[in-house]
Amino acid sequence: MLKALVFDVDGTLADTESVHRAAFNQAFAECGLDWHWDEALYTELLNISGGMERMQHYWQMHNPQMRERGSLALQDTLHRLHARKTAAYMEAVNGGAVQLRPGVLTLMDQALAQGLQLAIATTTSPANIAALLDRDLGADWRMRFTAIGDASTAPLKKPHPQVYLHMLDAMQLKPAQCLAFEDSFNGLQASRAAGLATVITPTHYTAGHDFTGALRVLPDLGHADLELLRTWHADSLNGISP
């Protein structure tokens, strides 16, 4: 029996990664770095979940001789860079740079009207979630969600299942009672490792990812109402494949 929907944020609730990419590049320029992440490079770097981890990986690529990977100086620099990036991202989102993807709001409303719980399971920062949902769901957006798992509560980033395991615990539900919504390979690995059936809605950044194990891959959530999702979910529990 489906009891909850668990949503990833970036790429799933909204197609945000182009705005993240611009914010990274703005922070690099403001901090005097000659780094520039173009679309092709960023598509690669998105294989690393978490902005901090992504920048550390890129730094390591550029400084292979670097010994003190975890040195305080490097960590301090990365934290300062990430703070500037998050500020730039929030400014862009507050300015209307992204909207919820098709079908997201309708599905959330349907689920709440039928007594399902909603949760968020993301690797992005809490401030980024608030900027997006304050704008698109209103200041009381948190009332819609039983639980929110993000970079501040689940430091082990996707494909690690930590954030999904936290949400199951917070909702006091079993994986079989939930349905996850993701956009990427790492996200699918995380939700599947936690035992959740998962619907994928890729973006242009993740269209080429391996979605083996997904319950369905849809262009967006405008292509499935709650009844159809309940049927697919029940089929998956009964071992009926698409």
- Stretch in the footprint of ligand XBP (CB under 6 A) among 49-57, 106-114, 134-142, 196-204: 49-57
d(CA 161, CA 3) in angstroms, rounded, equals 20
Reference 116, options 233, 15, 221; nearest CA is 233
d(CA 47, CA 233) in angstroms, rounded, equals 28
* Residues in binding contact with Mg ion, number by CB under 5 A: 6
- Stretch in the footprint of ligand XBP (CB under 6 A) among 27-35, 108-116, 123-131, 195-203: 123-131
Contact at 8 Å (CB) between 189 and 209? no
Out of 124, 177, 191, 206, point to the residue binding ligand XBP (CB under 6 A): 124
Q: Which does 202 bind (CB under 5 to 8 A by kind): Mg ion, ligand XBP, none?
A: none
* Residues in binding contact with ligand XBP, number by CB under 6 A: 17
Reference 111, options 181, 175, 163, 170; nearest CA is 181
Please tell me whether residue 123 binds ligand XBP under the rule CB under 6 A: yes
Please tell me whether residue 183 binds Mg ion under the rule CB under 5 A: yes
DSSP 8-state symbol, 200: E
- 10 in catalytic set: yes
Question: CB 65 → ligand XBP: shortest distance, Å?
Answer: 26
Contact at 8 Å (CB) between 209 and 226? no
Please tell me whether residue 159 binds Mg ion under the rule CB under 5 A: no
Residues contacting residue 171 through CB under 8 Å, at least 6 positions apart: 3, 4, 117, 119, 146, 147, 178
Instruction: Please say which residue, 99 or 230, places its beta carbon nearer to ligand XBP.
Output: 99
Residue type at 239 in one-letter notation: G
Contact footprint for Mg ion (CB under 5 A):
8, 10-11, 183-184, 187
